[in-house]
Each structure stands twice: as structure tokens, then as C-alpha cells.
């Protein structure tokens, strides 16, 4: 089998997020986040406990990382462990937990990549308007400052936010994240902007503190392609690309909304009877932060195929793995349709590895300001079969291998990708699907919380140790 080398110093990572792995939602003074209330509502199919019990088992997970050649881990800090009400008194037990976790990462040679906000907004702030309320920005900056002060001596990679677009889209358009609103496209754009302001101010604060690490953001940058290259479908692609990707890439790396992208956003706003509110100081913060950005974290799972669409918004979320049940049509934007030539997961996510390469090349073209890129999430949701303690997840290996082959092609062409964090390190709670959608290198038996390496874990270990990818046929 032909092989290809990874660049020297490449990070072979595994990704997690606090709420999806820690469990222990009521321990040691942690306050509730929006997801606690949502997943504890009557009729909820699953809860934030036990998740993967990382709160207690992080040492075992880091031992497994080391044993399997994994030299980087994405973790996030639960805001309500540090500040239980979102604002106000600091919880020393929360501070101590992340102290120990970060120290253990370093002791095991597994570099922590720390995200400040991975969807888990404190419940009181959420109830008070979430990211539509600018007071949440100030509360976030206070939380960020505490984290930088406590952990900034040891953490070398910080991300302000995970996937602002998912916060906006899933919470206000698709309705499968709290607050479960649907088709509020104007609110979603306003939230994107407010998150960009919070991000920029946090970057500026970090850079004023003289700490030794680097800072960036994690965006979900799904590919956007016209289903057929008609001018109407290409325009639908451009609209979806603007609201999902380029609006916030502009904010982070150019420090402004470029006229081309803003024209597309204005078209979407107009067709949805909405208006964006901004302050002059927002742009001062964004301009200054853009020059200081050290890296981009890019999450890539899939690409969407766009068709022109003139009707009202309608969305059906496939949250159970019933293949072929998704619908996603947005007023003023377009319809995401299935491409018969592209396979999908059971949750209807198109599997399109070439899309990762195409997206990396688009970043190289449109955002030459981006100095370093980490693929901060990529992986395959799968209903793994557990047979006598063994898990043969060959489809996941194929998925990752194909994406990595395209990643290395982009590297050959000068795209500065420095690492890859598979989603996920171990099986975790899936926000809108629960526990039967598994992504991990390590299988978690949620009854016993015992970990079992999957076939993919051994494959990943051999690749990390050799620094070579066995290329797909
Ligand atoms: C990303 C999130 C992760 C993770 C992943 C898989 O959007 O950053 O937290 O959940 O998607 O998504 P899902 O669990 O919905 O399959």
C-alpha cells in the first residue's frame, strides 16, 4: 500500500468538549448550563449524565492517549464549574479541577488545546437573552480573563469559541439546540455578530496579558457546492457559504465584513425581514483582533449541496439515525439536497472527503491571513457493534483515512495544516442525538464506564507512531 508522510511535529490529536464528556453535572459546586435544563425536560431521551465520566476518569483517558500515540487533546472549560451562575463568585473546586486536568495532560505529553466556550452557556445568562443580550459578552470576557489568569502559564493553544455558527443555526434556525427556535434567520445573524465581538475582545484581552501561548477560534467550515452549476444554484451556494462560513471568517481574519460577503448577508436579511445591529466599537475590536490571530481551528465533517429555493423555511432534523429523513430548506438562502453520487452517514451527513481539501484551498485563497490551521474536529458518527470486547469500525477508518489523504494533498500545496484532532477521543454524548451516535477511538460502555480501544484506535496509533498515512486505494 502506498504511504505518505505527515509533516514534522504534526499533532495527532483527539477532541472532547466539557459537557459531552465530563458528566458530574451537579458535583463540586458546578452550576447549570442551558443544556442541563434542556436535557432534563420531561420526555428527554438522554441527559448530560453520565456522559463519559471524564470528570473522574481523565487520568485513564490521558493514559490511553499516551499509549496510543495521541499527542494532543481538545478539551473545553465548563464555564459553570468556574463561575456557577455565569457571573459572580468563582468556585475554587472548579478552578482546581482544570488545574489538575491541564497538569495531567502535560505530564502525559498530551498537549491541551483549550476551548473557552463549547455550547455550554450558563443557564442564567441563557435565560436572560443568551448571545442576543450583549451583557453575555461582558460575562464571557470575565470568565475568559479568569481562565487566562489561572491556566495561561501552561496552556499553549486557546480557542475562544467552538462553532459559533452551530450556536446560531441549531438554536435559532434548525431548532435542535436550546432555545429550539426555528427559522429565526435574523436572530441567527445577530448572534453570529455578537459572538464575533465577544471573540475579538477576548483575543485582544489575551494578547494584552503577555502570556506564552497562542489563540484562535474553532469554526465549523462545512463545504458548500451547487448541486448542478446553474447560476441560481451557484447563488444559493454563495448565500449558504456566506451565512455559514464567510461572514465569520471575514470577522476573525479580516476584521471587517467584506463588501462581497455583506451584500450576500444583506440579501438574506432583507428576504427574511430582518436587520443587523452593530456598534462602531465592534469593528474597532474586530480590526485589532484580526491582526493578532495565531491560528484557525477548522471542524469539517461534511459538505452540503445547494439548490435554489424560493419557498418558506422547512427543516426536519434526523436525530435518530433514520437514514434519508432530513430536510433543510431556508427562506432567502437555498435548499440542501442529497447528491446521489455522494454517500451519507445514517444521520444523513454527506461523506465527502474531497470537500475538506476544497475548503482548505478556499481558505488559502480567500483568507491568506490565516497562519496555521488545525483540523480541530473530523470523524464519523456510527452505531458501533460491540462484539466480545472488540469493535470493528472499518468504515470509520476509511472515512478518516480519506480525509487525511486530502489533508496531506492540501499540505503539499502549501496550506499550513499543523495537526488533526479526531472527533472524538472516546465515545461522547452527541448534543442532539444522544448516546447511540458514537464517534470515539475508544468505545465507552456507559453502564460500567469502561473504555475499549476500537480497531480505529490501533490504526490511529500505528499512523501516529510511524508518522505515515497508508493512502486509500
Ligand atoms: C460538532 C461539535 C461537537 C460534536 C460534533 C458531532 O458540531 O463541535 O461538539 O458534537 O459536531 O456532532 P453530532 O454529535 O451532532 O453528531
Mutate to test the pocket of ligand 1, among 117, 317, 377, 426 (most ligand atoms within 8 A of CB): 377
CB 203 within 8 Å of CB 289: yes
Residue 237: the pLDDT is 98
- pLDDT one digit per residue (tens) for the chain, 473 residues: 799 999 999 999 999 999 999 999 999 999 999 999 999 999 999 999 999 999 999 999 999 999 999 999 999 999 999 999 999 999 999 999 999 999 999 999 999 999 999 999 999 999 999 999 999 999 999 999 999 999 999 999 999 999 999 999 999 999 999 999 999 999 999 999 999 999 999 999 999 999 999 999 999 999 999 999 999 999 999 999 999 999 999 999 999 999 999 999 999 999 999 999 999 999 999 999 999 999 999 999 999 999 999 999 999 988 888 888 889 999 999 999 999 999 998 888 999 999 999 999 999 999 999 999 999 999 999 999 999 889 999 999 999 999 999 999 999 999 999 999 999 999 999 998 899 899 999 999 999 999 999 999 999 999 999 999 999 98
Assigned CATH class of 3-466: alpha beta
CA 51, CA 76: separation in Å to the nearest integer?
Answer: 15
| Inter-axis angle of helices 185-208 and 280-290, nearest 10 | 50
Cell numbers of 436, please?
447511540
Q: In the chain, where are the structural domains located?
A: 3-466
Residue nearest atom 12 in ligand 1 by C-alpha distance: 430
CB distance 17 to ligand 1 below 6 Å? yes
Mutate to test the pocket of ligand 1, among 174, 298, 423 (most ligand atoms within 8 A of CB): 423
Residue 229: the pLDDT is 98
Residue 310: the pLDDT is 93
CB distance 318 to ligand 1 below 6 Å? no
CA 328, CA 330: separation in Å to the nearest integer?
Answer: 7
Residue 272: the pLDDT is 95
CB distance 424 to ligand 1 below 6 Å? no
SS3 content of the chain, % helix, strand, coil (to 5): 40, 20, 40
CB 170 within 8 Å of CB 220: no
Half-sphere exposure of 248 (CA within 13 A, CB side): 34
Residue 473: the pLDDT is 83
CA 289, CA 283: separation in Å to the nearest integer?
Answer: 10
Distance 431 CA to ligand 1 centre (A): 7
Residue 324: the pLDDT is 87
Distance 333 CA to ligand 1 centre (A): 23
Residue nearest atom 10 in ligand 1 by C-alpha distance: 430
Please pick, among 22, 222, 225, 377, the residue that the annotation labels catalytic: 377
For residue 177, the 8-state DSSP code is: S
Mutate to test the pocket of ligand 1, among 319, 347, 431 (most ligand atoms within 8 A of CB): 431
Residue 181: the pLDDT is 97
CB distance 117 to ligand 1 below 6 Å? no
Please pick, among 22, 163, 192, 225, the residue that the annotation labels catalytic: 163
Distance 398 CA to ligand 1 centre (A): 19
Residue nearest atom 14 in ligand 1 by C-alpha distance: 430
Q: Is 377 a catalytic residue?
A: yes
CA 444, CA 51: separation in Å to the nearest integer?
Answer: 9
Amino acid at each position: 500500500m502506498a504511504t505518505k508522510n505527515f509533516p514534522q511535529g504534526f499533532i495527532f490529536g483527539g477532541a472532547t468538549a466539557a459537557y459531552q464528556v465530563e458528566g458530574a453535572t451537579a458535583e463540586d459546586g458546578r452550576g447549570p448550563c442551558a443544556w442541563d435544563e434542556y436535557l432534563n425536560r420531561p420526555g428527554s431521551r438522554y441527559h448530560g449524565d453520565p456522559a463519559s465520566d471524564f470528570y473522574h476518569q481523565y487520568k485513564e483517558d490521558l493514559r490511553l492517549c499516551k499509549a496510543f500515540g495521541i499527542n494532543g487533546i481538545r478539551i473545553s472549560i465548563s464555564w459553570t464549574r468556574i463561575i456557577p451562575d455565569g457571573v459572580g463568585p468563582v468556585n475554587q473546586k472548579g478552578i482546581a479541577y482544570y488545574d489538575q486536568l491541564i497538569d495531567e495532560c502535560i505530564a502525559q505529553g498530551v498537549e491541551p488545546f483549550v476551548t473557552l466556550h463549547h455550547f455550554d452557556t450558563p443557564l442564567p445568562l441563557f435565560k436572560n437573552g443568551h448571545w442576543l443580550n450583549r451583557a453575555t459578552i461582558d460575562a464571557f470576557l470575565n470568565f475568559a480573563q479568569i481562565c487566562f489568569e489561572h491556566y495561561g502559564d501552561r496552556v499553549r493553544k486557546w480557542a475562544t469559541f467552538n462553532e459559533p455558527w452551530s450556536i446560531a443555526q441549531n438554536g435559532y434556525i434548525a431548532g435542535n439546540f436550546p432555545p429550539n427556535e426555528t427559522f429565526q434567520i435574523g436572530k441567527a445573524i445577530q448572534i453570529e455578530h455578537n459572538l464575533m465581538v465577544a471573540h475579538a475582545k477576548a483575543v485582544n484581552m489575551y494578547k494584552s496579558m503577555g502570556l506564552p501561548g497562542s489563540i484562535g477560534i474553532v469554526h465549523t467550515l462545512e463545504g458548500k457546492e451547487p448541486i448542478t452549476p446553474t447560476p441560481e444554484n451557484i447563488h444559493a451556494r454563495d448565500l449558504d457559504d456566506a451565512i455559514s462560513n464567510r461572514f465569520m471568517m471575514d470577522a476573525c481574519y479580516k476584521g471587517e465584513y467584506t463588501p462581497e460577503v455583506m451584500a450576500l448577508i444583506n440579501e438574506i436579511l432583507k428576504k427574511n425581514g430582518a436587520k443587523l445591529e452593530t456598534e462602531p466599537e465592534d469593528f474597532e475590536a474586530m480590526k485589532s483582533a484580526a491582526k493578532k490571530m495565531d491560528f484557525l481551528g477548522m471542524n469539517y465533517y461534511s459538505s452540503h449541496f445547494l439548490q435554489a429555493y424560493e419557498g418558506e423555511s422547512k427543516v426536519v432534523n434526523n436525530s435518530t439515525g433514520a437514514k434519508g429523513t432530513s430536510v433543510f430548506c431556508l427562506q432567502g438562502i437555498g435548499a440542501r439536497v442529497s447528491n446521489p453520487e455522494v454517500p451519507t452517514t445514517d444521520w444523513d451527513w454527506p461523506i465527502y472527503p474531497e470537500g475538506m481539501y476544497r475548503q482548505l484551498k478556499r481558505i488559502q485563497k480567500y483568507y491568506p491571513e490565516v497562519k496555521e490551521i488545525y483540523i480541530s474536529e473530523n470523524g464519523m458518527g456510527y452505531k458501533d457493534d460491540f462484539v466480545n470486547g472488540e469493535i470493528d469500525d472499518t468504515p470509520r477508518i476509511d472515512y478518516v483515512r480519506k480525509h487525511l489523504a486530502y489533508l496531506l494533498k492540501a499540505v503539499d500545496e502549501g496550506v499550513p495544516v499543523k495537526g488533526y484532532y479526531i472527533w472524538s477521543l472516546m465515545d461522547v454524548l452527541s448534543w442532539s442525538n444522544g448516546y447511540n451516535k458514537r464517534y470515539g477511538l475508544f468505545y465507552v460502555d456507559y453502564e460500567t464506564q469502561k473504555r475499549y480501544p476500537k480497531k480505529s484506535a490501533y490504526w490511529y496509533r500505528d499512523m501516529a507512531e510511524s508518522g505515515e498515512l497508508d493512502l486509500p486505494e
